[in-house]
Chains A and B, each alone.
Chain A
């Protein structure tokens, strides 16, 4: 009997995290959810077990507590086949402009923590010679915007990290996926003005992540329209871009 594949979701309590866990469990993976508040993950674990009859593990994981990372990875009962980092913090740009602590938290939550933990998993995966790493980054990292460049720059760093890691790890049999969801209707974006046709629901992102892992896609813009939008935005000359309001 071949044992089932396993996926671990870091940031399992987020809407996208829940959706990703459901997509993988539905596809027959045993899943693990990792988050700051393990008790809060219990209902999601019960949901996955009831729906898909899979084994679900729960682990404590805090993306800001980088000192705990090695212990966390070594403490897992087995190395998963897939690791997915959904962790991120939008924060409040206006506050981050003057509050260094807030800016730091945004930067660490979106760049430092996710990169370090995925880097660690990458080493283990390379040692084994297989594995898939998924980082959920953002279209906001494609170009810094006046309205959210603290968050955007951290995501840009994360995207660059993933891209470099992919180049290196692919030679060792390890695949790295970068996901750029665009606008997603989630708790994080609640109350924000989202552009309808460019906005998707969390389950669409979950399915896209699963699809990218199975098809070995490198970079996914969840809604194809974003690839075009960001291509245009990326190629606008800085002189024009700085005059645009967004």
Chain B
């Protein structure tokens, strides 16, 4: 057995890690209690098999690409970073990218990941035309909106629980450059932040970084980043149409003692971050896609900052109506505690695409917390606020929510489970997450 954990390094559990080399071997690898793993960027226990974890990053071949349409067929282990590096210079990017480029296509489909454009362009699954799925029952099926459509829509956002995605056909976005025209808006409090995001609805990309150490009148003060793809005429003289993505240079070599993150250091960091951003607010400027979309990728292994015991990310979405009150309440409680993340992320989401996809029209808030003290109880209380407002928690970030919160948050669960049973009557596909939240006990 091997000790396996997600990006948050909590929980750490035993699961046999297998690295099959052929699709036949993937089939043979599936025993009762298996789940696929992409690049392990889910924070909690989604990519850990109850018994066995089937690593898919070895499957990194592109099958075909049509430069006329941007349609691409590829194996599920291809990383988005690889797609960007390879096809960016040819004028194509993924339609949707999450906050790190080190995720696999399979993982991006399974979590139906959202980017800064979800409010207007939807999630990753929207650009997937079909998938080759190895079901828990042992069949290999092609699923699309027309063919095996139940399996298709259950797999998008289905957290790997419908089977193992072997290949996918998807569309890439044609771009003229790898640069983004960015506009920064400083918002002095939560109302201003939400207003700025609402005003940014027409922008292709929008996101707010909240200073979650700010309290009182400053509660919710943030920097809003709006973005559009830049045209060749907007680039600085001599700039290449496609910037070079550097590999993460600086790495966090060891687990920092949890001490490093304390009220003072967090408050100081946030203050500095807000001030520096506010200075750039106003006009627009052109930035490389890498820092724009993937600010955290610049530091390898940054998850070690939170110390050996790991950390939790808490990401909820709250429907538009009533969001102001709940967000204010949550941010107030977090500021009171003072031990939350450096930065919190607030953004707007639109309609989700898969049966179990996380997004719903409203605001999503993501916060990091080191695992310590009474954090579990604290977050249980926050969860109650979220579901009472008709919201839900993101499974790709989750490591601890209760069955109740999950079941209330995802009313389409019955339908998902019925499809899952039909694809896998014996219940072979099981992750630590599904054991915790889904499977009959």
Contacts and interface: CB of A to CB of B under 8 A. Distances in A.
Interface in B37-73: 61-65, 67, 72
In this complex, the member of A43, A46, A50, A190 whose beta carbon has the largest number of chain B beta carbons within 10 angstroms is: A50
Nearest to B87: A51
Contact of A50 (B19, B21, B65): B65
Interface string A25-45: 010000000000000000110
Contacts, number: 25
B404 interface: no
A190 B58 CA distance: 12
Interface string B76-96: 000000000011001000000
A4 interface: no
A94 interface: no
Contact of B65 (A43, A51, A190): A51
The majority secondary structure among interface residues of chain B is mixed
Interface residues of A, number: 11
Nearest to B61: A47
A44 B61 contact: yes
A50 B86 CA distance: 10
Contacts of A193: none
A187 B90 CA distance: 31
Contacts of A44: 61
Contact of A46 (B19, B61, B67): B61
A17 B62 CA distance: 16
B61 A43 contact: yes
User: Interface size class for chain B?
Assistant: 10 to 19
Interface string A45-64: 01100111100000000000
Contact of A187 (B21, B63, B86, B87): B21
A47 B21 contact: no
A47 B61 CA distance: 5
Nearest to A190: B19
A187 B19 CA distance: 9
Interface of A: 26, 43-44, 46-47, 50-53, 187, 190
22 contacts: A26-B86, A43-B61, A43-B63, A44-B61, A46-B61, A46-B62, A46-B64, A47-B61, A47-B62, A47-B63, A50-B63, A50-B64, A50-B65, A50-B72, A51-B62, A51-B65, A51-B86, A51-B87, A52-B86, A53-B67, A53-B90, A187-B21
Return the 8 tightest CB-CB contacts between A and B, nearest first.
A47-B61, A50-B65, A50-B62, A47-B62, A51-B86, A50-B64, A51-B62, A43-B61
